[in-house]
Amino acid sequence: MDGKVYDLLEKLYVEVQGMQTEVRDIKETMTTKDDLKDFATKDDLKDFATKDDLKDFATKDDLKDFATKDDLKDFATKDDLKDFATKDDLKDFATKDDLKDFATKDDLKDFATKDDLKDFATKDDIKNLATKDDINMLADELHAEIQTVYDELVELRNDLSTMEMLTTKNAYDIAKLKAIR
C-alpha cells in the first residue's frame, strides 16, 4: 500500500514539475511592456502628416505644366509689347498677375516630398504589431491558466492530506490487530 501511495506521490510531483516548467517557458517567451517601449504608438504618430493630409498640396509633377519665373525671362514685358502687340494678341499669355497664386520652388522648400515620406511607417506597416489590448488579453488568459493550475494544486494537497490521514489510520488499525493476536 505504501508503495502505491509513494508511486502516486511521485507521479503527482513529476506532473507539478512539468506544469511549473510550462509556466516558466510561457513567461520567458511573453512580450513585456518594456519590450514594446521603443515602438511608436498611435499617439506618437499624431503630429505626422498622413498621405490624406497631403492630397491637397501641389506636387512637383503637378507643377510641371506651369510656367516658372525662369520660363518667363524670354517673354516680352508690357513695355516691350505696347509697340508691337495688342491686348487681344496677348489673351493666351500668362501675366505676372496670373502667376501670383502659383507656388514657386522657393514656396515649396518647406513641404515634404515623396522621397521624404518613404521612411515613415504606414498603417499597413503597423497593423500586425501587438496592441496593448492584445497584451492585456494574453495576460488575462495566462492569469486564468495559472489560477486553474493553482486551484488544482490546492485540491491535490487536500487529497494528499486525506490519503496521509487514511494511511495513518490504517497503520494504527494494523498495529491494534497485531496487538490483539
CA pair distance 172, 178, nearest whole angstrom: 10
CA pair distance 151, 157, nearest whole angstrom: 10
Total domains present in the chain: 2
CA pair distance 43, 28, nearest whole angstrom: 29
What pLDDT score was predicted for residue 152? 93
Domain around 73:
58-110
CA pair distance 121, 131, nearest whole angstrom: 16
Domain identity same for 142 and 174: yes
pTM confidence score: 0.29
Residues of the chain with pLDDT under 50: none
Note whether residue 47 is domain-resident: no
Grid cell locating 71: 520660363
Note whether residue 116 is domain-resident: no
What pLDDT score was predicted for residue 158? 92
Grid cell locating 28: 520567458
